């Protein structure tokens, strides 16, 4: 990780071609260095974070005054940093009979701030939680006494999580964990605090900035979807081809414990919806054996979406995995104990994240915890089903090879699609797809859950979500359309994105048939589309052209009266 | 370590914190003489010096040096002789 000085040096570099995000920071302690570190980290990740910093200790004035500079600035993200030190200062001034109300009164304030920000802005809120301070007035007894500062602080951190769970645009940046991992002596430096009112030490600033950026990056669609893992000395100790299945190290004895715990971590990631792939230099049948037969293995074949074990080079194998999964290299993480393989992959696969695993496998997990690789801003039940869907996809690919006629193949799939407007059940998934879809995304407008809720009740906006089910399984929701009324004759396709999992199934035709029928029924004559180029959506550059739209300036038009339904083997469910 | 050696090593720390390799330091130099040496950069310098010489300044010491010479003197006192 860069030092603060290195991050600060980034500020003099050229930001002109980077992605811009407007961010406001409001703090009750001095935040100038945090702002500089955050902007420096943004640069490292290809972002021009345009940060406006409120004057010191102006959180409430800026939020509750509708004419404040905050609202003039119109940020997309508001960061609020109310520090544990200032909270302690507030507690110190209370009368003893008021101590027990500290957390509740702070939560009330946080609630008011959030409500007011939501009324005035369409911004996401990042709130730092409270780093632990025990004022040692009661010793350990503080944990039994509701009026102690420690009790109130921990209650507050818990209540913040409960609050965040109920709000669609309120996110906590968990700096309490950063302090736990690095130690308070590293996190906080008294002399810096006394002289500058800054509660973060210079040493910890890059870490806090990086964790804050994890949230910001994820909000704009940068996130990890897949973990690719090597086998020998990464997944288990020893070399399966040489040592044999009986002698690999996994289980409760000695260093085996480290690999078992590592596998449990991977299993939890899989349950969360991260796609797990294996990439190993091995003979396939030998490499699979532990997953099928070893009693101490935590991971089994059904946890692995793509299993590649051969003697080809790993960069080629990872390209193969990428083809099957159809996701960007920048959403992949590769774990391998061998520095040579790591460098080879790093050099040949641009964008992929390759952590420098420590030499001692006992340290893998603590190291990986610190990296925070799998940030997300949403979670839905469909995530958990993802591995199954990719395995089904692999089967489909095999069957497709046995059909010579594509139409026959598509017919044989017995595809059905459920078409629904946005509602409270599909909102989380719509928002999530909106954050994740990069390739098949015509305009790449990102919507949060609260945006989706607003669209669902709007009169001039029409929404469609599509699922796709076939004889092999249910893909879940895979496509979203948002149409906006432009004038009496025309509907504008504000959003069209689709999961790449369902390419080449005629889904585009089905979607177009569906929205044209809707357009006609509502009495409109034209559909208008637009392609906005990003680094990732070249795949749909000719999308509207291929569907028969006519170019009109930088937009695309389709006259619905002349339209004939396109061939399609998907039925409405 | 003698005072002139300390001054020499300070040069690198200043160059890093101020991002300026050409910074000129003497015992008489004050914050007003050096571009970019404001109260925030001062903290960055102090933390850099503490790390480099493996020493710690007390909170009050940090604001009381009038020029680089006094800073050098402070460091000199803390280093093992």
Q: In this predicted structure, what is the pLDDT of residue A505? A: 84
> Is 3.40.630.30 the CATH classification of the domain at A396-572?
yes
**Cβ–Cβ of B43/A12 closer than 8 Å?**
no
Residue ranges covered by each domain of chain A: 4-219, 226-371, 396-572
Contact B40 A8 (CB under 8 A): no
A196 Cβ contact list (under 8 Å, min separation 6): A30, B39, B40, B43
* Maximum C-alpha span of chain A: 82
pLDDT at position A406 over 80: no
Question: Residue by residue, what is the 3-state secondary structure of A113-154?
Answer: HHHHHHHHCCCEEEEECCCCCCCCCCHHHHHHCCCCHHHHHH
* Pick from A203, A349, A197: nearest CA to A279: A349
> B43 vs A195: CB contact, 8 Å cut-off?
yes
CB contacts < 8 A, A to B, total 36
The chain A residue lying nearest B45, using CA atoms, is A5
Q: Quote the CA–CA distance of A64 and A61 in Å, as a whole number.
A: 6
The CA distance from A451 to B17, in Å, is 43
Is B63 an 8 Å CB contact of chain A? Answer: yes
Residue A402 has pLDDT above 70, yes or no: no
ipTM value > 0.85 = no
A2 at B interface, C-beta within 8 A: no
Q: Which of B16, B39, B62 sits opposite A191 (nearest CB)?
A: B62
Quick check: A27 and A83 in contact, CB under 8 A?
yes
Q: What Cα–Cα distance (Å) separates residue A302 from each residue in A270, A283, A288, A356, A385?
A: 10, 19, 11, 28, 12
Per the model's pLDDT, the better-predicted residue between A282 and A176 turns out to be A176
Judged against a pLDDT cut of 90, whether residue A549 lies above it is answered with yes
Cross-strand partners of A333: A227, A353
Say yes or no for a CB contact (<8 Å) between A192 and B47: yes
Q: Which residue has the tokens 């790993």?
A: A314
Residue of A nearest to B15 (CA): A5
A29 touches chain B (CB under 8 A): no
How many CA atoms lie within 13 Å of A332's alpha carbon, on the beta-carbon side? 26
Distance from CA of A203 to the nearest CA of B (A): 9
Average pLDDT of the segment spanning A222-230: 92
Res A397: pLDDT:
64
Residue in A5, A9, A195 nearest the CB of B62: A195
Residues of B in contact with A5 (CB under 8 A): 16-17, 19, 44, 48
Helix (H) or strand (E) holding A335: strand A332-335
Q: Is A437:A223 a contact under the CB 8 Å cutoff? A: no
State yes or no: pLDDT of A496 exceeds 90: yes
* Same fold? A4-219, A396-572: no
Find, among A34, A73, A269, the residue nearest to B40 by Cα. A34
What does the pLDDT read at residue A400?
Answer: 63
DSSP assignment letter at A274 = P
Q: What is residue B26's DSSP assignment?
A: -
CA pair distance A353, A330, nearest whole angstrom: 7
Query: pLDDT class for A221, splitting at 50, 70, 90?
Result: confident
Return the closest-CA partner of residue A34 out of A209, A217, A212: A209
* CATH top class, domain A4-219: alpha beta
3-state class percentages of chain B: helix first, strand second, coil last, to nearest 5: 60, 0, 40
Q: What letter would DSSP give residue A565? A: P
* Nearest chain A residue to B41, by CA: A33
Quick count: other Cβ atoms within 10 Å of Cβ A321?
23
Read off the pLDDT of residues A155-214 as tens digits, 9 standing for 90 and up.
Answer: 999 999 999 999 989 999 999 999 999 999 999 998 889 888 899 999 999 999 999 999
How confident is the model at residue A394, as a pLDDT?
Answer: 65
Confidence (pTM): 0.71
C-beta of residue A223 within 8 angstroms of C-beta of residue A436 = yes
Is B63 within 8 Å of A192 when comparing Cβ atoms? no
pLDDT band, residue B21 (cuts 50/70/90): confident
Distance from CA of A218 to the nearest CA of B (A): 30
Q: A202, B19: Cβ pair inside 8 Å?
A: no
* Best of A3, A4, A5 to mutate (most B CBs within 10 Å, chain B): A5
Q: B54 at the A interface (CB within 8 A)? A: no
Provide the pLDDT confidence category of residue A401 given band limits of 50, 70 and 90.
low
CB-based contacts of A285: which residues, under 8 Å, 6+ apart? none
Q: Where are the alpha helices (DSSP H) in A136-255?
A: 149-166, 175-182, 184-187, 190-196, 205-219, 240-243
Residue A373 CB contacts under 8 Å (≥ 6 apart), including other chains:
A224, A333, A353, A355
Q: What whole-number distance in Å separates Cα of residue A535 and Cα of residue A540?
A: 12
- Which of A 439-468 lie inside 8 A of B, CB atoms? none
Share of chain B above pLDDT 70, in %: 100
What is the number of residues in chain B?
81
Distance from CA of A206 to the nearest CA of B (A): 14
CA distance A471 to A455: 33
Tokens 């006394």 -> residue: A194
Q: What are phi and psi for residue A210, nearest 5 degrees?
A: -65, -45
A523 is written with which tokens?
Answer: 């009495």
Please report the residues numbered 152 through 191 in chain A whose beta carbons come closer than 8 angstroms to any beta carbon of chain B: 189-191
Domains (range + CATH), chain B:
3-78 (1.10.1200.10)
Q: Please say whether the beta carbons of A209 and A37 come within 8 A.
A: yes
Q: Is the model's pLDDT at A393 over the cut of 80?
A: no
Q: What contacts A162, CB < 8 A, 6 or more positions away?
A: none
Chain A: closest CA distance from residue B43 (Å): 7
> How near does any CA of chain A get to the CA of B76, in Å?
20
Confirm or reject contact between B48 and chain A (CB < 8 A): yes
Angle between helices A339-348 and A314-325 (to 10 degrees): 60
DSSP state of A525: -
Interchain proximity A8–B19, CB inside 8 Å:
yes
Q: Hey, is the C-beta of A34 within 8 angstroms of any chain B C-beta?
A: no
Which residues from chain B sit within 8 angstroms of residue A203, using beta carbons?
A: 47
The reply to whether A33 touches chain B by the CB within 8 Å rule is yes
Q: Judge whether B46 is closer than 8 Å to chain A, CB to CB.
A: yes
CA distance linking residue A278 with residue A291, whole number of Å: 11
Nearest CB to A195; choose among B17, B19, B59? B59
Residue of B nearest to A36 (CA): B40
Query: Tell me, what's the pLDDT at A110?
Result: 97
Question: What is the structure's pLDDT at A412?
Answer: 82
Least CA distance to A191: which residue of chain B?
B59
Residue A66 has pLDDT above 80, yes or no: yes
CA-based nearest residue to A307, from A326, A289, A330, A331:
A289
The alpha carbon of A429 is separated from its chain's Cα centroid by a whole number of angstroms, namely 13
State both tokens at B48: 């850099």
Tell me what the mean pLDDT of segment A313-340 comes to.
90
CATH of domain A226-371: 3.40.50.1000
- Separation CA A496–CA A508 (nearest Å): 10
Mean pLDDT across B23-33:
91
Distance, in Å, from the CA atom of A258 to the CA atom of A254, rounded to the nearest integer, reads 8
User: Contact at 8 Å (CB) between A387 and A412?
Assistant: no
**B chain contacts of residue A201, beta-carbon cutoff 8 Å:** 47
The residue whose two tokens read 């890093």 is B16
Quick check: A472 pLDDT over 80?
no
Smallest Cα distance from A204 to chain B, Å = 12
């Amino acid at each position: 990780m860069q030092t603060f000085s290195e991050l600060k040096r980034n500020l003099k570099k050229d930001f002109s071609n980077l992605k811009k995000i407007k961010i406001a920071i409001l703090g009750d302690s001095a935040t100038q260095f945090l702002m500089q570190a955050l902007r420096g980290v943004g640069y490292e990740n290809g972002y021009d974070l345009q940060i406006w910093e409120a004057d010191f200790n102006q959180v409430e004035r800026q939020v509750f005054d509708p004419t404040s500079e905050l609202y003039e600035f119109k940020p997309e993200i508001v960061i609020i940093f109310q520090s544990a030190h200032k909270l302690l200062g507030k507690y110190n001034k209370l009368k003893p009979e008021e101590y027990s109300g500290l957390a509740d009164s702070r939560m009330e304030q946080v609630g008011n701030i959030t409500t007011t920000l939501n009324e005035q802005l369409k911004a996401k809120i990042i709130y730092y939680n409270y780093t632990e301070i025990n004022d040692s007035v009661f010793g350990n007894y503080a944990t039994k006494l509701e009026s102690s500062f420690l009790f109130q602080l921990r209650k507050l951190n818990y209540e913040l999580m409960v609050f965040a769970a109920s709000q669609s645009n309120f996110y906590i940046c968990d700096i309490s964990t950063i302090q736990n991992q690095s130690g308070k002596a590293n996190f906080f430096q008294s002399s810096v605090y006394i002289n500058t009112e800054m509660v973060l030490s210079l040493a910890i600033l890059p870490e806090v900035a990086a964790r804050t950026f994890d949230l910001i990056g994820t909000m704009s669609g940068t996130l990890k979807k897949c973990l690719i893992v090597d086998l020998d000395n990464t997944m288990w100790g020893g070399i399966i081809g040489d040592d044999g299945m009986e002698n690999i190290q996994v289980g409760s004895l000695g260093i085996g414990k480290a690999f078992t715990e590592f596998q449990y971590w991977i299993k939890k990631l899989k349950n969360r919806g991260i796609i797990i792939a294996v990439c190993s230099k091995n003979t396939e049948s030998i490499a699979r054996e532990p997953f099928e037969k070893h009693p101490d293995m935590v991971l089994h074949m059904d946890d692995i979406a793509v299993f590649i074990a051969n003697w080809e080079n790993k960069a080629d194998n990872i390209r193969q995995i990428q083809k099957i999964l159809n996701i960007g290299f920048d959403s992949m993480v590769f774990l391998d104990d061998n520095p040579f393989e790591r460098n080879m992959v790093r050099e040949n696969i641009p964008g992929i994240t390759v952590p420098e695993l420590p030499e001692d496998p006992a340290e893998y997990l603590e190291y990986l915890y610190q990296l925070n690789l799998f940030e997300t801003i949403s979670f839905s039940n469909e995530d958990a089903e993802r591995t199954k869907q990719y395995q089904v996809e692999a089967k489909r690919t095999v069957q497709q090879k046995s059909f010579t006629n594509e139409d026959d193949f598509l017919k044989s799939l017995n595809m059905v699609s459920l078409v629904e407007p946005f509602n409270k059940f599909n909102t989380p998934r719509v928002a999530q797809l909106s954050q994740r879809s990069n390739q098949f995304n015509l305009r790449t407008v990102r919507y949060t859950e609260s945006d989706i809720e607003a669209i669902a009740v709007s009169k001039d906006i029409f929404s469609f979500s599509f699922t796709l089910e076939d004889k092999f399984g249910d893909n879940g929701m895979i496509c979203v359309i948002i149409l906006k009324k432009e004038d009496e004759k025309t509907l504008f396709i504000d959003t069209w994105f689709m999961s790449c999992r369902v390419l080449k199934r005629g889904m585009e035709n089905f979607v177009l048939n569906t929205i044209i029928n809707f357009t006609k029924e509502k009495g409109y004559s034209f559909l208008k589309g637009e392609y906005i180029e990003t680094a990732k959506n070249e795949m749909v550059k000719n999308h509207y052209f291929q569907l028969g739209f006519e170019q009109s300036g930088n937009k695309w038009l389709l006259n619905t009266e002349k339209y004939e339904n396109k061939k399609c083997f998907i039925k409405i469910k | 370590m003698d005072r002139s050696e300390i001054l020499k090593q300070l040069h690198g720390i200043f160059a890093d914190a101020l991002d300026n390799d050409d910074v000129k330091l003497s015992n008489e130099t004050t914050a007003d003489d050096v571009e970019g040496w404001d109260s925030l950069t001062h903290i960055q310098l102090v933390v850099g010096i503490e790390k480099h010489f493996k020493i710690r300044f007390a909170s009050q010491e940090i604001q009381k040096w009038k020029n680089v010479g006094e800073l050098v003197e402070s460091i000199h006192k803390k280093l093992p002789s």
